[in-house]
Amino acid sequence: MPIIELGWLLPSRRELQGWDMSVINRKKSAVPKHVPTKGQAKPRINRTSFKAGMVLELRHRLQLKQADFARLLPVSVRSLATLEGGAPPSEAVARKLVEIHRLTNALAEVIKKDSLGWWLQTPNGAFDGLKPIEVIDRGESDRIWSMIFFLRSGVPA
């Protein structure tokens, strides 16, 4: 008689003779391994992956002053200077650095490299008159990601 497990109809034991049973009997988790379940910690950002000078390089790519870049992280100007000197960031700051780095790379695809700093500092009608740096500072970077999506796809907004 066939065995019914989770809605799948499996062949009888007689039909399975000569088959590799380890593949069939293996229990499969309903949750992928990379998704934390209750009680498991979220995957951590590797704080040591930020080499000395990477924070400074990112700030220069964005053409921002220390005070403006520190506001994005959010850290003090003194803490930013320490990070730029090569100190490892805290986990929260590392996450924000990764987010800003990804956003910078995406913006570099749709905005000229030399214009990126100017664009971040200029009020934009698409963001209700806010500067893009203010949009990021408010935690609404999804609005910028949406703009990047439309510019990449060529679909008029």
> CA 122, CA 53: separation in Å to the nearest integer?
27
* Residue for token pair 């999804």: 142
11 within domain boundaries: no
Domain presence at residue 88: yes
Range of the domain at 74: 50-153
Residue 44, domain member (yes or no): no
pLDDT of residue 154: 83
Please return the burial class of 55, using the count of CB atoms within 10 Å of its CB with bins 0-12, 13-18 and 19+: buried
Q: Is 87 inside any structural domain?
A: yes
78 within a domain of the structure (yes/no) = yes
The answer to the question of residue 68 being in a domain is: yes
- Cβ contact 145:106 at 8 Å: yes
Kindly state whether residue 61 falls inside one of the protein's structural domains: yes
pLDDT digits (tens), the chain, 157 positions: 444 444 334 445 554 455 444 544 444 444 444 555 565 555 555 555 667 688 999 999 999 999 999 999 999 999 999 999 989 999 999 999 999 999 999 999 999 988 999 999 999 999 999 999 999 999 999 999 999 999 888 876 5
Tally of structural domains, the chain: 1
**pTM (whole model) above 0.75:** no
Q: Are the CB atoms for 136 and 103 separated by under 8 Å? A: yes
Residue 132 belongs to a domain:
yes
